[in-house]
Structure 1
């Protein structure tokens, strides 16, 4: 059963000005295997009313953001960078290429309640400024501004959307209820979204960040609710007899897949979010649940026990061309299709414990990512580099994050 969701949101409260000093520039890593891009973080300079603590916070947050991106190896000026096999970057443009080193030069200025964060991305060898960035906001939004800076650095160097401005939606106990909460991708700024004093489960964030879908018992039965992602207020209530659960948004946000038992047994249905028309996709006496969309929106992966034990299956978005995905393991559930389209994460019972595994979209190359505790509810980051999941590794059910290959495990919550 899914209990969390992750979504990239561009925060509109940030004002930023970007000036890129580059023309047809591309970066490549000269290595036979994937390796992070090394980026040096220079000391942050505090100006006017900015304190040394403000400057330290900038570096600490930026360092963590860049490392959590899974594509950048950030290091301070006084640290050693890896070993002799660390990759060299080359600037590939129209002319001859020259090796170069990347460094970020940040400074923070505070005047009253306004904070200005400035940073330059520089090639230390040639002293050429690759990018110059300027962010303005209130002092309380220092962390938000640094997140934006980190994402822009990732974008400049890789052309991809960064992770630092993403958020995680999850369920947690609140008094005698289970409510939906939201936090930043790194476990900070936790806030409660729903306050209906009931059982709220399986939250799923809409791609545009404006709504969330959840199963809630607030009316006495497990119904499907669409709620405002900022206020938590109900936008739409889909009520049927029995259970409606495990909602999953299509990549374009136009459709919502979910599992429903209102016709007797659990089947996969799809709702048109605009018209609220619901179509049944699976027709089988077994239990079909936990749908997840492919990034193209053309296929769905889901769990079914039609062969006796829960296994993963894939079908077209219209319900056709059904095929079995998993053959390894007797119990496989909670699939999550990577935004990159190449991997599917899921939960498998291995030697009596639940662990997170991945496989290719054809079911091959199965890899076990976790080994300790009971691990459930995998959910991909928007860039497809990290997986968030719930685990009992620390003795209590908390949220953790790791890279797509199981490395660099981080604990996000401490309950």
Structure 2
């Protein structure tokens, strides 16, 4: 070392600090890469992304390589700095060199390059992957020895797989969609989140209850049957004998109208034209039922309980509306038609409304893990069928029962948390 001039040693030290900055920045950049973005770039043929993805496939080797290079460079820099310090300041040079080198390494070889790399990982990782790839080949024996030792310690700690697992859980994917911001339009975000929610929602949550099913009793007067066919708001109508539980099948309105046009429409031809019933067990998640509809080539089904009793009706359109929202062509009563705002800011609501539809429409927080309708929720809360003018606090909302009939709450007034309670009773 005595033969090497101090200026040459300073240049060598400067080069070592640059190399240390390279290894520090490369490590941060490689670990900060968005794995899903570089997979997308790699699939499009981006060479930098392909190289980076190959290195990240074995993070133990990549980290081992970078740390070997970084430590070798830093140790050598420390030795060179000590020599320079002793030449310039004598015995005090060791302490001076240690203090100065520590500050220089922290600022220029650690904090600055790592911060820049964290902010711009692709700008650093893609070019540096070229040199890292060559270094991995060159130092492969040393890297493998280090990895064997570290893998042994990891196995003692119960870690056997050193490969990365980037699979996202549903909740993590939900967070990714939420944080996408302007990258994904708000409407598309809502649809993606609705798809994720399908497994949390069952057919009972969206079905038309048996009392609201538009159906034809084949034992009714034939004129009434004709009128029901003509006035039907649906393309498929349930046909039954006397009671819904004695369902016969579904008649497609197109078939019924064709028979009418040929003057061949009668009870017997109606029964011959009905399609076979398709039954859905209650509790079936919507994602499962959507697949079942597709596999069975069905579009409509009857929801039955464990005893085989019909509880309601679900269509393919109902499930699709959970994803994309209500279709404008739907003739079924919507939540908005069941909700009427009053002058005092309260709401008069049809109590048979589905709670999920009510929450979605009004951005409210009534519980949905129990009864499916507002009527059911009130009765469950009171454990009795209330009389008219009964008032209660339900999930933070003031609810007044307006009408009760047929052992059901028919309509209620709801005053939200943000609406002052009015003493005027003449606003209905």
Provide TM-score, normalisation by structure 2: 0.20
* TM-score with structure 1 setting the length: 0.20
- The structure that is strand-richer by fraction is 1
Structure of greater Rg: 2
Structure with greater helix share of residues: 2
